[in-house]
Amino acid sequence: MYEAARAVVPNRGELAQLTGLPVATTNDGLVDQARLLGCSGAVIITLGPDGALIVEHDQVVAVPARRVDAIDTTAAGDSFCGALADALVGGASTRDAVAWATRAASVTVTRRGAQVSLPTRADLAD
């Protein structure tokens, strides 16, 4: 179904909808569901405060999120996907791109609103 996709980025609930299965409650269950998609690239499952899980070929990598005091999760997914795309287009590895994306989403959830909560590169500088 997703043979030509470089990356598919569902959250737990979206992955369940894509596979027609109940929401997986373990990482092993998420990996099994991700593999059902037949993606030739990576399936990157967003896990909210738990970061993300990369399922790529025969590898599985958990990428933790920074611990923050979240006040509004409205734009977290959009922030994650935008930062992920930016990093991948810039030549980052999948692992590095997902780390960058979780960092961006972690900043986003500490702000109220949608578009106004999206971080700039300067906001993400160490």
> Which has the closest alpha carbon to 47: 35, 29, 20?
29
d(Cα 73, Cα 60) in Å, to the nearest integer? 26
- Which is catalytic among the residues 32, 50, 72, 78? 78
Tell me whether residue 50 is one of the annotated catalytic residues.
no
Say how far apart CA 75 and CA 88 lie, in whole Å.
Answer: 20
Task: For residues 50 and 67, give the distance between their C-alpha atoms in angstroms, rounded to a whole number.
Answer: 9
Q: Which residues are catalytically annotated? A: 78
